[in-house]
Amino acid sequence: MTPEDWQRVKSILDKAALVDAGDRDAFLRQACGEEGALRAEIESLLECEHGNLFDEAAFSIADLEIPSEYAQSFIGKEIGKYRIVSELGRGGMGLVFLAERADGEFEQKVALKLIKRGMDTDAVLRRFYNERRILATLVHPNIAHLVDGGTTDDGVPYFVMEYVDGVPLLDHARSNGLDLNARLELFQQIASAVTFAHNNLIIHRDLKPANILVTAGGVPKLLDFGIAKLLTPGNGGLITATQQFVLTPEYSSPEQVRGQQLTTATDIFSLGVILYELLTGVRPFDMKEPSFAEAIRVICETDPTLPSRVSGEPRLKGDLDNILLKALRKEPERRYSSVEQFSEDINRYLSSRPVLAADDSRSYRLQKYVKRHRFGVITGGLIFTTLLAGLGTTLYQARIAQRERERAQQRFNDVRGLANSLIFEINEKMGESPLQARELLVTRALEYLDKLTEDAAGDPGLQIELANAYEKIGELQAEIFNPGLGKVSDALNSHQKALELREKLLAASPNDVARGLDVLTSRSYVGDILTASGSIGPAREQYLNAVTLGEELLSRYPDHEGIKTRLSSTYARLGQNVLRSGSLGAALDYYQRALSHAKDVLAAKPQDVQRRRRVGIISNYIGYVKMQMLDLQDAESAFREQKQIENSILKEDPENLHNRSALSASDLWLGIALGEQGRLDNALVYLKEALDIQKRISAADPANVGEQNSLADCYVEMGKVQVWAGNTEIGLQSLREARKIYSAVSTADPNNVSAKGQIALTDRHIADSLAAKGDLAKADKVYRESIQEYEALIATDNSNLEWKDYLAVAHLHYGQSLQKQKLNADAGVQFSRAVELFTPLAQNSPDNRRLKRDLDLANGYLTSG
Amino acid sequence: MSEPPITRDLDRDPSVQLDEVYTQVYDELRRLARFYMRQERSNHTLQPTALVHEAYLRLGQQEKGTFLNRTQFISVAAKMMRRILVNHAVHRNRQKREGTYVQITLDRAVDAFREDSLNLLDLERALAELAKLDARQERIFELRFYGGLTIEEIGEVLDVSPATVKREWNTAKLFLRRHLALQRN
Q: Is residue B2 part of a domain?
A: no
Closest chain B residue to A6, measured at CA: B133
Q: Would you give the distance in Å from CA A288 to the centre of its chain?
A: 22
pLDDT at A484 (0 to 100): 36
pLDDT band for position A286 (cuts 50, 70, 90): confident
Whether residues A138 and A195 fall in one domain: no
Among A8, A43, A54, the strongest candidate for a mutation testing the B interface, having the largest count of B CBs within 10 A, is: A54
**Residue A394: pLDDT over 50:** no
Residue-wise burial string across A642-677, b where 16 or more C-beta atoms lie within 10 A, e elsewhere: bbebbeebbeeeeebbbbbbbbbbbbbbbbbbbbbe
Whether residues A822 and A849 fall in one domain: yes
**Residue B138: pLDDT over 50:** yes
Looking from the CA of A14 toward its CB, the CA atoms found within 13 Å total 13
Whether residues A156 and A212 fall in one domain: no
Name every chain A residue with its beta carbon within 8 A of the beta carbon of B60. Answer: 117-118, 154
* Separation in Å, CA of A53 to nearest CA in chain B: 7
- What amino acid occupies position A172? H
Q: Is residue A276 part of a domain?
A: yes
pLDDT at A485 (0 to 100): 39
* Separation in Å, CA of B29 to nearest CA in chain A: 13
pLDDT at B9 (0 to 100): 43
Write the pLDDT tens digit of every residue in A568-603: 999 999 998 888 878 889 999 999 999 999 999 999
Whether residues A144 and A183 fall in one domain: no
Domain boundary among A105, A127, A162: A162
Q: Is residue A736 part of a domain?
A: yes
Whether residues A826 and A693 fall in one domain: no
| Mean pLDDT (whole number) for B36-40 | 45
Domain count, chain A: 5
pLDDT band for position A820 (cuts 50, 70, 90): very high
**Does B181 contact A48 at a Cβ distance shorter than 8 Å?**
yes
**Residue A681: pLDDT over 90:** yes
**Does B56 contact A17 at a Cβ distance shorter than 8 Å?**
no
**Residue A373: pLDDT over 50:** no
Please give the residue that has the higher pLDDT: either A690 or A403: A690
Residue B136's CB is within 10 A of a number of other CB atoms, namely 14
**Residue A66: pLDDT over 80:** no
In this predicted structure, which of A411-420, A597-606, B107-116, B138-147 has the lowest mean pLDDT?
A: B107-116
Q: Is residue B31 part of a domain?
A: yes
**Does B134 contact A3 at a Cβ distance shorter than 8 Å?**
yes
Q: Is residue A755 part of a domain?
A: yes
Q: Average pLDDT over chain A, rounded to whole?
A: 81
Alpha-carbon torsion (A655, A661, A666, A669), positive or negative: positive
**Residue A65: pLDDT over 50:** no
Of A661, A640, A641, A639, whose CA–CA distance to A650 is shortest?
A: A661
Write the pLDDT tens digit of every residue in A100-150: 888 776 778 888 888 765 555 565 677 677 778 888 888 899 998 888 888
- Please state the pTM of the whole predicted model: 0.47
Percent of chain A scored above 70 by pLDDT? 80
Name every chain A residue with its beta carbon within 8 A of the beta carbon of B171. Answer: 9-10, 13-14, 45
Whether residues A790 and A733 fall in one domain: yes
pLDDT band for position B147 (cuts 50, 70, 90): confident
* Separation in Å, CA of A14 to nearest CA in chain B: 7
Domain that holds residue B55: 10-184
* Separation in Å, CA of B13 to nearest CA in chain A: 25
**Does A58 contact B64 at a Cβ distance shorter than 8 Å?**
no
Q: Is residue A434 part of a domain?
A: no
**Does A45 contact B49 at a Cβ distance shorter than 8 Å?**
no
Please give the residue that has the higher pLDDT: either A219 or B183: A219
pLDDT at A425 (0 to 100): 52
pLDDT at A667 (0 to 100): 94
pLDDT at A91 (0 to 100): 53
Contacts of A367 (CB under 8 A, 6+ apart): A334, A700
**Does B177 contact A64 at a Cβ distance shorter than 8 Å?**
no
Closest chain B residue to A65, measured at CA: B53
Of A383, A395, A456, A374, whose CA–CA distance to A422 is shortest?
A: A383
pLDDT at A702 (0 to 100): 75
Closest chain A residue to B54, measured at CA: A64
Write the pLDDT tens digit of every residue in B124-137: 889 999 999 999 99
**Residue B61: pLDDT over 50:** no
User: CB-CB: which of B71, B141, B145 is closest to A121?
Assistant: B71
**Residue B44: pLDDT over 70:** no
Q: Which CATH number does the domain housing residue A647 bear?
A: 1.25.40.10
Name every chain B residue with its beta carbon within 8 A of the beta carbon of A49. Answer: 174
Q: Would you give the distance in Å from CA A325 to the centre of its chain?
A: 21
Chain A to chain B Cβ contacts (< 8 Å): 132
Name every chain A residue with its beta carbon within 8 A of the beta carbon of B77. Answer: 61
Whether residues A738 and A832 fall in one domain: yes
Angle between helices A849-864 and A824-844 (to 10 degrees): 150
pLDDT at A705 (0 to 100): 74
pLDDT at A122 (0 to 100): 61
Q: Is residue B33 part of a domain?
A: yes
Whether residues A13 and A83 fall in one domain: no
- What is residue A143's DSSP assignment? B
Domain count, chain B: 1
Whether residues A812 and A789 fall in one domain: yes
Domain boundary among A359, A388, A423: A359
Q: How far apart are CA A687 and CA A721, in angstroms?
A: 9
Q: Is residue A293 part of a domain?
A: yes
Q: How far apart are CA A413 and CA A427, in angstroms?
A: 20
Contact status, residue A220 vs residue A142, Cβ threshold 8 Å: yes
Contacts of A264 (CB under 8 A, 6+ apart): A198, A203, A231, A338, A339
User: CB-CB: which of B49, B78, B167 is closest to A14?
Assistant: B167
Q: Is residue A227 part of a domain?
A: yes
Contact status, residue A168 vs residue A209, Cβ threshold 8 Å: yes
Residue-wise burial string across A593-621, b where 16 or more C-beta atoms lie within 10 A, e elsewhere: bbbebbbbbbeeeeeeeebbbbbbbbbbb
* Separation in Å, CA of B182 to nearest CA in chain A: 11
3-state secondary structure of A762: helix
Name every chain B residue with its beta carbon within 8 A of the beta carbon of A63. Answer: 148
pLDDT band for position A606 (cuts 50, 70, 90): very high
Whether residues A276 and A308 fall in one domain: yes
pLDDT band for position B163 (cuts 50, 70, 90): confident
**Residue A28: pLDDT over 50:** yes
Among A13, A48, A50, A61, the strongest candidate for a mutation testing the B interface, having the largest count of B CBs within 10 A, is: A61
Whether residues A34 and A72 fall in one domain: no
Write the pLDDT tens digit of every residue in A786-800: 999 999 999 988 878
Whether residues A624 and A743 fall in one domain: no
Q: How far apart are CA A118 and CA A101, in angstroms?
A: 28
DSSP H or E segment with residue A109: strand A109-115
pLDDT at A792 (0 to 100): 93
Q: Would you give the distance in Å from CA A263 to the centre of its chain?
A: 22
Q: Is residue A724 part of a domain?
A: yes
**Does A125 contact B173 at a Cβ distance shorter than 8 Å?**
no
Q: How far apart are CA B51 and CA B78, in angstroms?
A: 12
Write the pLDDT tens digit of every residue in A319-341: 899 899 999 999 888 898 889 88
Contact status, residue A762 vs residue A717, Cβ threshold 8 Å: no
Contacts of A729 (CB under 8 A, 6+ apart): none
**Residue A285: pLDDT over 80:** yes
User: CB-CB: which of A3, A48, A121 is closest to B70?
Assistant: A121
Q: Is residue B1 part of a domain?
A: no
Q: Is residue B4 part of a domain?
A: no
pLDDT band for position A255 (cuts 50, 70, 90): confident
The alpha carbon torsion through A838, A840, A846, A851 (nearest 10 deg) reads: -10
* Separation in Å, CA of A48 to nearest CA in chain B: 6
Closest chain A residue to B85, measured at CA: A58
**Does B178 contact A44 at a Cβ distance shorter than 8 Å?**
yes
Contacts of A551 (CB under 8 A, 6+ apart): A567
**Does B145 contact A119 at a Cβ distance shorter than 8 Å?**
no
Name every chain A residue with its beta carbon within 8 A of the beta carbon of B33. Answer: none
**Does B147 contact A155 at a Cβ distance shorter than 8 Å?**
no
Domain boundary among A666, A700, A734: A700
Angle between helices A776-796 and A753-773 (to 10 degrees): 160
CA distances from A606 to A122, A320, A554, A654 (A): 62, 36, 21, 19
pLDDT at A699 (0 to 100): 85
Domain that holds residue A211: 177-359
